[in-house]
Structure 1
Amino acid sequence: MTTIDAGNPAFTAAELTAVRADFPLLGRTVRDGKPLVYLDSAATSQKPQVVLDTEVDFYEKRNAAVHRGAHALAEEATEAFERAREQVAALVGASAGEIVWVPGATAGINLVATGLQNATLGRGGAAGARFALGPGDEILITEAEHHSNLVPWQELAARTGATLRWIPVGQDGRLDLSALSAAPSGAGAPAGEVAPLINERTKVVAFAHVSNVTGAVAPVARIVAAARAVGALTVLDACQSVPHLPVDLPALEVDFAVFSGHKMLGPTGVGALYGRRELLEALPVVPTGGSMVEVVTMESTTFAPPPQKFEAGTQMVAQAVGMGAAADYLRELGMDKVAAHEAELAAELLRIAEIPGIRVIGPTTVGVLGAEAGPDAGLPDRVAAVSFVVDDVHAHDVGQVLDDQGIAVRVGHHCAQPLHRRFGIAATARASASVYTTLDEVIAFREALGGVRAFFGAE
């Protein structure tokens, strides 16, 4: 990869060419020799050579169980494993001790939800009591959530007796925060009126930083401030933000956050759970087993301090090392430049709305977040993930016609059935970009999409 000029707002043509050269898969052809146009990065990203080489290097030179054994391989493996934790922490502004390795973002959300359930059962002692839920308590999510940040909270509500509520989505695809919180006085709702979405009964607020369907960036600062005002925990799904925007989790003041390796140019099967240190120390353990213990007797066990406290069993060491390499790769590119590049691509992708019979689901323009966005101020207010419907043509048929031309897009409900139901549709097609996507690819996609309705005789 060539040296990136941090002074330029986006990638130069030469820089983007060099970036693409780092991704070997992008050079292949599909469907009878057609050049691949990969626009499914929101589902999973491609991997730069440095990530592939880092994993191979680990297996070839230092493969061993970490935190065990006194031999040279074990020491080197542990050093690489913990160095990767530092690399990933640096990408999101955290300290290494605030990053827990998990098999993926879904596992990270479930870890937090199950930890709260364990606290409700009395595990964790006095320190864990702060996480207990029961009848009368409320968990708040949004109508825009991926199932991974919906189903665990449904289950937690069912198991604890808490009530699940959600922030609705407006017609523009953005969260409707009109009923978010009470007046500044903190007064509850008058008799006979529905309580604000965040109120004195709210214990957890879980939401996505960026919607995987609409691409809209959530107003994190406003939601977190309202949650903190009533002492509620915040859990941020950062899967669609960490790969595409500068993210500083401590500055956002969220309590927990999750993101996946495979969406940020890293390997599959690994992700990170961020947690404020004091909360990781207090949260009851999940899961349990070897490696996360200090002293074990037949009667009881004491646990290691976080993050190891939550890392039971043999870890996904090679994948974690690869995720660390991906984090360094993104940092070297510069996340400000990544965001600027992808904002340009988002604007071009949104031009599909000019094609007769195409309807974009979500924001149709790319703006800039204002000062009220706090740490996110100045960032694009949507990312380059654009979901759409084609009149009279099913999303799966759209995807197949595009695939025949070498263009890979996502089709279906994108693990967000409630959001699709809110717009009265069963499925959408979604085109999503990443650091390696070019304007020429977006134009090729747009031109191909323009012929889909004619292909089916729908014009």
Structure 2
Amino acid sequence: PADIAVGATVSQALSALAAALPPGAEVLVPEEEFTSNLFPWAVSARLRTVPLERLADAVTPRTRVVAFSLVQSADGRPAPTADILTAARDHDALTVTDATQACGWLPVQATRFDILTCAAYKWLMAPRGATYTYLSPRARRHMRPIAANWYAGSDPGGSYYGPPLRLASDARAFDLSPAWFSQVGAAVTLELLGRIGVPAVHDHDTALAARFCAGLDLAPTGGAIATAPADAAALRRLAEAGVRTAVRAGRIRASFHLYTTEDDVDRAVAALTGHDPT
């Protein structure tokens, strides 16, 4: 599609806008944001951070870009997206969202944002090295193709050698030459997810997360990610039970997807509570 660019990483995708911002431009970002959507702005702009829940209220006429994740990496919290979009629109700020922790289990409408980018190795289950980015025509007017290459040419096969610069007139001008093996793997997983349907994946994943929370007497998150207190004993029991989790921001982060079963959830709960599920 004319508004989609292919790349390798989120930070690379966002740098084409970050590098083109005027000196002193303010970019507003949640203070707990994953750094792929924070460091590019810190290099090229005047970064201002606030807690996620205050992001919409913090947008001012000086704000050029509001950048945030749809779902937070550390704990799975969803962003107050509608409020952020309204505040950004009221102040004519560009909206940039990292959907890496959302696309694949959460229904997402990319055209609500000026830029939406997603690394496919998480919930899209692809190999590392595949990233897809929606670039609205409005966003592209503010961007520079700083990684211009033959694959971004108006005719890639005719862009191997020599001047002049002849980039595509749409979002493909921001393409990177693909990591071919990553894209081969991504083609399979994207076809699978499309066949199953994101709504069905959403129902499966969130039901498992709710089962996990209920087993630990935690408030349900409504999402596909849940966290629990982390201590050495709990982490040891999880490892012994063959349960793989991550520790983020000092808590155990558990994520639930197509390959997760109710038995997996019960095994994780038993390991964390120290109770034998049998």
Q: Which amino acid aligns with 1:310?
A: F
Q: Is the 8 A contact 1:293 1:304 kept in 2?
A: yes
Query: What percentage of residue pairs aligned between the two structures are identical?
Result: 27
Deviation at 1:352, TM superposition (A): 4.9
Q: Is residue 2:179 matched to residue 1:319?
A: no
Name the CA distance, whole Å, in 2 between partners of 1:108 and 1:398: 38
Q: Is residue 2:127 matched to residue 1:267?
A: yes
Matching residue of 1:442: 265
Q: Is residue 2:125 matched to residue 1:220?
A: no
Q: Is residue 2:51 matched to residue 1:168?
A: yes
Q: Is the 8 A contact 2:94 2:139 kept in 1?
A: no
Name the CA distance, whole Å, in 1 between partners of 2:16 and 2:240: 41
Three-state SS of the structure 2 residue aligned to 1:291 is: helix
Q: Is the 8 A contact 1:257 1:273 kept in 2?
A: yes
Deviation at 1:324, TM superposition (A): 3.1
Q: Is the 8 A contact 1:398 1:429 kept in 2?
A: no
Q: Which amino acid aligns with 1:404?
A: E
Name the CA distance, whole Å, in 2 between partners of 1:387 and 1:156: 33
Name the CA distance, whole Å, in 2 between partners of 1:450 and 1:398: 8
Name the CA distance, whole Å, in 2 between partners of 1:202 and 1:256: 16
Q: Is residue 2:144 matched to residue 1:284?
A: yes
Q: Is residue 2:203 matched to residue 1:340?
A: yes
Q: Which amino acid aligns with 2:263?
A: D
Name the CA distance, whole Å, in 1 between partners of 2:142 and 2:153: 15
Name the CA distance, whole Å, in 2 between partners of 1:227 and 1:350: 34
Q: Is the 8 A contact 1:103 1:269 kept in 2?
A: yes
Deviation at 1:301, TM superposition (A): 2.9
Q: Which amino acid aligns with 2:258?
A: V
Q: Is residue 2:116 matched to residue 1:257?
A: yes
CA RMSD of aligned residues (A): 2.4
Three-state SS of the structure 2 residue aligned to 1:408 is: coil
Q: Is residue 2:37 matched to residue 1:149?
A: yes
Q: 5 Å matches for 1:56-95? A: none
In the superposition, relative to structure 1, how do residues 153 and 398 fare at CA in structure 2: closer, same or farther (>3 Å)?
Answer: farther
Deviations 1:151-205, CA, capped at 9 Å, x for gaps: 2221122xxxx3x222315xxxxx245xx34xxxxxxxxxxxxxxx111100000
- TM-score scaled by structure 2? 0.86
Deviations 1:181-230, CA, capped at 9 Å, x for gaps: 4xxxxxxxxxxxxxxx1111000000010112221211212101110111
Q: 5 Å matches for 1:134-213? A: 134-135=23-24, 137-157=25-45, 162=46, 164-169=47-52, 175-176=53-54, 180-181=56-57, 197-213=58-74
Matching residue of 2:245: 409
Name the CA distance, whole Å, in 2 between partners of 1:139 and 1:431: 31
Matching residue of 2:97: 236
Q: Which amino acid aligns with 1:265?
A: M
Q: Is residue 2:229 matched to residue 1:389?
A: yes
Deviation at 1:353, TM superposition (A): 3.8
Q: Is residue 2:230 matched to residue 1:365?
A: no
In the superposition, relative to structure 1, how do residues 176 and 278 fare at CA in structure 2: closer, same or farther (>3 Å)?
Answer: closer
Q: Is the 8 A contact 2:17 2:142 kept in 1?
A: no
Deviation at 1:269, TM superposition (A): 1.1
Name the CA distance, whole Å, in 1 between partners of 2:261 and 2:128: 24
Q: Is the 8 A contact 1:213 1:386 kept in 2?
A: no
Q: Which amino acid aligns with 2:118?
A: F
Name the CA distance, whole Å, in 2 between partners of 1:342 and 1:166: 31
Deviation at 1:245, TM superposition (A): 1.0
In the superposition, relative to structure 1, how do residues 386 and 406 fare at CA in structure 2: closer, same or farther (>3 Å)?
Answer: same
Q: Is residue 2:274 matched to residue 1:451?
A: yes
Name the CA distance, whole Å, in 1 between partners of 2:130 and 2:264: 29
Deviation at 1:281, TM superposition (A): 5.5
Deviation at 1:401, TM superposition (A): 3.1
Three-state SS of the structure 1 residue aligned to 2:150 is: coil
Three-state SS of the structure 2 residue aligned to 1:222 is: helix
In the superposition, relative to structure 1, how do residues 282 and 138 fare at CA in structure 2: closer, same or farther (>3 Å)?
Answer: closer
Q: Is the 8 A contact 2:241 2:268 kept in 1?
A: no
In the superposition, relative to structure 1, how do residues 98 and 321 fare at CA in structure 2: closer, same or farther (>3 Å)?
Answer: farther
In structure 1, stretches of 5+ residues that fail to align are: 1-95, 120-131, 170-174, 182-196, 355-359, 367-381, 414-419, 421-426, 453-459
Matching residue of 2:6: 101
Name the CA distance, whole Å, in 2 between partners of 1:297 and 1:341: 52
In the superposition, relative to structure 1, how do residues 326 and 112 fare at CA in structure 2: closer, same or farther (>3 Å)?
Answer: farther
